[in-house]
Amino acid sequence: MGLTVAFRSSRAVPIPGHQVEMGNPGERCVDHIIMDATEADAGLLASVIRESFADVAERFGLTPENSPTHPSNCTPEWVRSAFAKGVRFYLMRAAQGVVGCVALEHAEADVCYLERLAVLPPFRGHGFGKALVNHAMDRARELDAHRVEIGIISADVELREWYERLGFSVTTTAQFEHLPFEVTFMRKVLMNNTIS
Ligand SMILES: CC(C)(COP(=O)(O)OP(=O)(O)OC[C@H]1O[C@@H](n2cnc3c(N)ncnc32)[C@H](O)[C@@H]1OP(=O)(O)O)[C@@H](O)C(=O)NCCC(=O)NCCS
């Protein structure tokens, strides 16, 4: 699966050889494509992740000193190391250019972790985030995963509620020595259908 193309308009022309997803009428998601990223995209991915998580860092008082591993500090080297571990990255492009990305780690035979979900601030609220989650779910199904797991900042209640609307449920919470915030873990059991 190299490239998924999603079009809201039925007049849109599919790219030959690539899967086409038609957006449902009434959905907010505007035309976009989601591509498999490669190591050559490490710089681009790192900047999309850094810029998308900057407001999260600001909201929760996270700095490079108190949270050096937070995605707001993401570097191309982090992304390259993740590729080396087998993490898959997907880049989303819309008419405006690159608008976001997501990563998927095949952690265990039947479990994938959804990571680095990021939509650049000017492009939020158009359904891109949901489309990226849906894309990661579809790729996880192809890997025969039975569930997808995420970890979020517990205090980010809006984000937790958003994931709940996408079918995720809270499993547990945990405090880590290297993080100044509590982490809430959520999971979604995969069915055959994409998120509606
Ligand atoms: C979470 C994120 C990817 C959503 O992207 P998006 O393109 O705006 O998502 P959608 O358009 O599909 O959905 C927007 C909805 O999410 C809600 N939402 C999601 N996370 C939110 C948050 N942290 N704070 C406030 N609202 C949030 C919006 O209010 C909006 O609600 P609505 O559907 O009721 O209008 C984006 O906000 C982002 O990149 N945030 C920073 C990075 C981050 O927290 N990533 C997740 C790490 S696990």
Is residue 70 situated within a structural domain?
Answer: yes
pTM score, whole prediction: 0.88
Residue 192, CB-side half-sphere exposure with 13 Å CA sphere: 0
Which pLDDT value is given to residue 191? 78
C-alpha span between 162 and 26 (Å, rounded): 19
What CATH number is given to the structural domain containing 59? 3.40.630.30
Give me ligand 1 centre to Cα 159, in Å: 6
Residue located nearest, by CA, to atom 23 of ligand 1:
159
Per-residue pLDDT tens, the chain, 196 aa: give them.
445 555 443 333 333 434 444 444 445 666 899 999 999 999 999 999 999 999 999 999 999 999 999 999 999 999 999 999 999 999 999 998 999 999 999 999 999 999 999 999 999 999 999 999 999 999 999 999 999 999 999 999 999 999 999 999 999 999 999 899 999 999 999 976 555 4
Residue identified by tokens 């958003």 is 162
Whole domain around residue 88: which residue ranges?
Answer: 3-146
36 domain-assigned: yes
Phi-psi group of 167: left, alpha or beta (phi > 0 → left; psi -120 to 50 → alpha; rest → beta): left
AA identity, residue 65 = E
In a domain, residue 162? The reply is no
Report the number of distinct structural domains present in the chain.
1
Q: Is 138 in the pocket of ligand 1 (CB under 6 A)?
A: no
**Residue 139 included in any domain:** yes
Residue 189 lies in a domain: no
Ligand 1 centroid, distance to 131 Cα (angstroms): 11
134 CB near ligand 1 (under 6 Å):
no
